[in-house]
Amino acid sequence: MVMIHQLAPGFALGDAIGNQARAIRAVLRAMRMRSQVYAQYRDMRMDDSGADYRTLRLRRGAWLIYHHSIGSPVSEIARRNLDRLVFYYHNITPGHFLRGYNDRLADLLDQGREELPTFQDAPVVWADSEYNRQELLALGFRNVTLFPLLVDTTALQQSAMSPNGQAVVERYPQTVEGRAWTNWLFVGRIVPNKRQDALIRAFYYYQRLINPHCRLFLVGSSVNAPGYQLELETLAASLGAQNVIFAGAPSFAEGFGGYFKAASVFVCASEHEGFGVPALEAMSFGLPVVALDATGVSCAVGDAGLLVQDNAPATLAEAVHLLLTDEELRAHLARHQPARVAAHTPAQFEATLRTHIADLLRK
């Protein structure tokens, strides 16, 4: 029986890399292969939470898919198996963004970037976005293959339609006493590279000069940089921005999808992303998207959203206003959204993976 295992620093429910590893394992097992996910940190809420990375043993002829996203002891296991390694790159946030907020995490990010050249001789290299592929090629990697992330919005849509999701929509209506309200949405961890501070400044500009009847939903966990969220809360208060809502990280059962359904527009000011899954999730709800034209976000949004060249308050706020008031522009961008979402569906993901595995086995 063919054996293809996976190795990752972490294997967690709801995490983009964890979702990808779980989906890969399911397809490999459906192809009648032996496959398990080995990790340093494992989420025990899953029915099959994988195995401890220290127990990994590869027999002759087996392959190992290594998900690289941060410095970790698992990278040494990957290097020991370099001759039969699929190096799968998910991007690494530059450590300077976290420096001063979470120095331990910043160190691990820097370590992960320093380790990149040690994998240049892996026989097979994948990247989960074109931005990440180009980054590896610039570092001297050869023959980097694009293997996009799976973006399955089924659970998200179900969450939006659930009682808790509907409760979110009812809590933040787009019409109040006959007056239209605009709900801005950004989904992502509360960390400095995602620049929620720029979003708050742009939202305040919009609220003060364009439309006072508006809300900003910041949905995401602050566990990696709690000090940054405190700064954001202080910023909103000092500006006098009203209706800035820190929603935390609700689960699907808690109505996470309701924030997409309640939103009028998805706005992203992030300066560094490997890709940008939430932008595609927003498109699956038909939301107009405004985003900073930077790093992997550009690959995610492409021609299906309005990309801006800086995240200054006036730039973002006026772009939101333009998109929400120019019906022709909004309709033009919306026509491109289904194709963007379709490129990451479970069916497309499985077809692409099967092709890559067939190429792998021919080696």
Contact call for residues 291 and 268 (beta carbons, < 8 A): yes
Q: What is the mean pLDDT of the chain?
A: 96
**Residue 130 CB: number of other CB atoms within 10 A?**
17
Ranges of H-type helices in 302-336: 313-325, 327-334
Beta bridge partners of 292: 308
Binned at pLDDT 50, 70 and 90, residue 13 comes out as confident
Whether the pLDDT of residue 363 is over 80: the answer is no
Amino acid at 254: E
pLDDT value of residue 14: 80
Q: Cα(224)–Cα(101) distance, rounded to whole angstroms?
A: 8
Secondary-structure class of domain 4-150+345-362 per CATH: alpha beta
pLDDT value of residue 296: 96
pLDDT value of residue 317: 98
Residues 6+ apart with CB under 8 A from 337: 283, 286, 304
Strand order in the sheet with 214-219: 244-248, 214-219, 182-187, 265-268, 289-292, 306-308
**Residue 135 CB: number of other CB atoms within 10 A?**
20
pLDDT value of residue 15: 86
| CATH superfamily placement of domain 154-342 | Glycogen Phosphorylase B; (3.40.50.2000)
Residues 6+ apart with CB under 8 A from 63: 3, 4, 5, 84, 85, 86, 124, 360
State mean pLDDT over 2-20: 93
Binned at pLDDT 50, 70 and 90, residue 362 comes out as confident
Percent of the chain residues past pLDDT 90, beyond the cut = 95
Whether the pLDDT of residue 107 is over 80: the answer is yes
pLDDT value of residue 34: 96
Percent of the chain residues past pLDDT 70, beyond the cut = 100
State mean pLDDT over 108-124: 97
pTM of the predicted model, to two decimals? 0.96
Binned at pLDDT 50, 70 and 90, residue 358 comes out as very high
Q: Cα(293)–Cα(287) distance, rounded to whole angstroms?
A: 18
Whether the pLDDT of residue 1 is over 90: the answer is no
Q: Cα(151)–Cα(298) distance, rounded to whole angstroms?
A: 16
pLDDT value of residue 261: 98
Domain ranges in the chain with CATH number 3.40.50.2000:
4-150+345-362, 154-342
Q: Cα(90)–Cα(321) distance, rounded to whole angstroms?
A: 33
pLDDT value of residue 126: 98
